[in-house]
Chains A and B, each alone.
Chain A
Amino acid sequence: MQQKNLFEQTLTSLSQHEILNDLVLIGGWCFIVYREHFGNSHLIPVLRTLDIDFLIPTPVKRSNTADLPAVLSNLGFDLAIAYPDGVEKYVHPELELEFMVPARGEAVEKVEFVRKLGVKAQPLRYMSLLVENIMVTRFRGIELRVPRPSVFAIHKLIVSTYRKVPEKRKRDEESALSLLQFCKKVPSEWILAVHTCDTMPTGWFQRVAGVLERLDSVLLKNLKG
């Protein structure tokens, strides 16, 4: 299977069409990016599913509109629409690709049309945490925006508490914990982790604490400062 090739081809194509700067890579493929960023540290897990998830920070700042569906179609992705909620994803025999936007307010629509990119994205809670903590890195020579790993790990811990399937929840918890434990060794990331937990809404932190209490209470104690 050639998922890594298709992943790189997707990033390259998005970059060539000047769309990649409007996107933030989130989800499982971030681990492989973090690995490269931090010199191939074996402490960063790379077991992941084969979805490519992109967060679109809104409003999109580009001045012109881009035809993102056409770029993806040229890579062999086909649009799949889930009925009745209309959630869209782009499917390929090797990978699937989805777009998310930060949810705004209380009433959450199932999909939001991002006009400047021509795609429908899923509004999701807690995405603001990622949007506010983005770093620019290079992956295989391609400039790419990803969340800061410590915040990515904390976000994953929060989201894991909503997982209904036990295997998926366990996988999210373990990969997030491994990444957070790695971040403990990177001073700038650990400072950000402590600051993020200190300034986030109490309810959000309670979710983080609930998981860490069970999995690594010493790490939780350090996180509380």
Chain B
Amino acid sequence: MSMMIDVLMEEKRRLEALIHGYDEQISRLPKGSISWKKRESGEYGYLAYRVVNSVKFDYLGKKGSEKPEMIAQKIKRRRELEMKRGEAARNLKQINRMLHAAKKSV
């Protein structure tokens, strides 16, 4: 039984380190979403994000230009990392439950 507890503890440490890594990466990426607004001269991107109770729009540039595309990629990456962080956190919760049960039965 103690060998199983060791394996679970190792996985717990791995998941905690993984979550910490995801949090660091996520903190470096922009929050919000890209909002595209149509004008006569084309489509223009704005970074839409929440500040307290309101939504702010930061102008990024015309669709197809470097800045909005770069920010869109970063936001996509943020969402991917947030999903993985969520999965890791759920796994960690499961591991903690298993550890609790395993330690109780020893």
Of the candidate stretches B3-11, B30-38, B48-56, B58-66, the one touching chain A is: B3-11
Contact call A170/B21, Cβ cutoff below 8 A: no
| B14 within 8 A of partner (CB) | yes
| B88 within 8 A of partner (CB) | yes
Contact call B87/A49, Cβ cutoff below 8 A: no
Cα–Cα, bound, A48→B8 (Å): 10
CB-CB under 8 A for A93 and B3, given A76-B84, A78-B84:
no
Minimum CB–CB distance from A163 to chain B (whole Å) comes to 12
Contact call B18/A47, Cβ cutoff below 8 A: no
| B94 within 8 A of partner (CB) | yes
Contact call B94/A168, Cβ cutoff below 8 A: no
Cα–Cα, bound, A41→B14 (Å): 30
Contact call B84/A171, Cβ cutoff below 8 A: no
| Range of interface residues on B (Cβ < 8 Å) | 10 to 19
| B73 within 8 A of partner (CB) | no
| A174 within 8 A of partner (CB) | yes
Out of B4, B6, B18, which one reaches A93, CB within 8 Å? B18
Cα–Cα, bound, A112→B55 (Å): 49
CB-CB under 8 A for A171 and B6, given A80-B21, A93-B18, A93-B88:
yes
Complex interface: chain B residues within 8 A of A22 (CB): none
Contact call B84/A49, Cβ cutoff below 8 A: no
CB closest chain-A residue, reference B94: A1
Contact call A47/B91, Cβ cutoff below 8 A: no
**Residues 137-176 of chain A, each 1 if its beta carbon lies under 8 Å from chain B, else 0:** 0000000000000000000000000000001101100100
Contact call B84/A92, Cβ cutoff below 8 A: yes
Contact call B87/A93, Cβ cutoff below 8 A: yes
**Residues 60-78 of chain B, each 1 if its beta carbon lies under 8 Å from chain A, else 0:** 0000000000000000000
CB closest chain-A residue, reference B84: A93
Contact call A50/B14, Cβ cutoff below 8 A: yes
| A53 within 8 A of partner (CB) | no
Complex interface: chain A residues within 8 A of B2 (CB): 167
CB closest chain-B residue, reference A167: B6
Complex interface: chain B residues within 8 A of A170 (CB): 3
CB closest chain-B residue, reference A48: B7
Contact call A50/B11, Cβ cutoff below 8 A: yes
Complex interface: chain B residues within 8 A of A1 (CB): 91, 94
| A91 within 8 A of partner (CB) | yes
3 tightest Cβ-Cβ pairs between the two chains A and B = A93-B87, A93-B88, A167-B6
Taking A47-B3, A171-B3 as known contacts, 16 extra A-B pairs with beta carbons closer than 8 A to each other, sorted by chain A number, are A1-B94, A47-B4, A47-B7, A48-B7, A49-B10, A50-B11, A50-B14, A76-B84, A91-B21, A93-B88, A93-B91, A96-B14, A167-B2, A168-B6, A168-B10, A170-B3
14 contacts between A and B (CB under 8 A): A47-B7, A49-B10, A50-B11, A76-B84, A91-B18, A91-B21, A92-B84, A93-B84, A93-B91, A94-B87, A167-B3, A171-B3, A171-B6, A171-B7
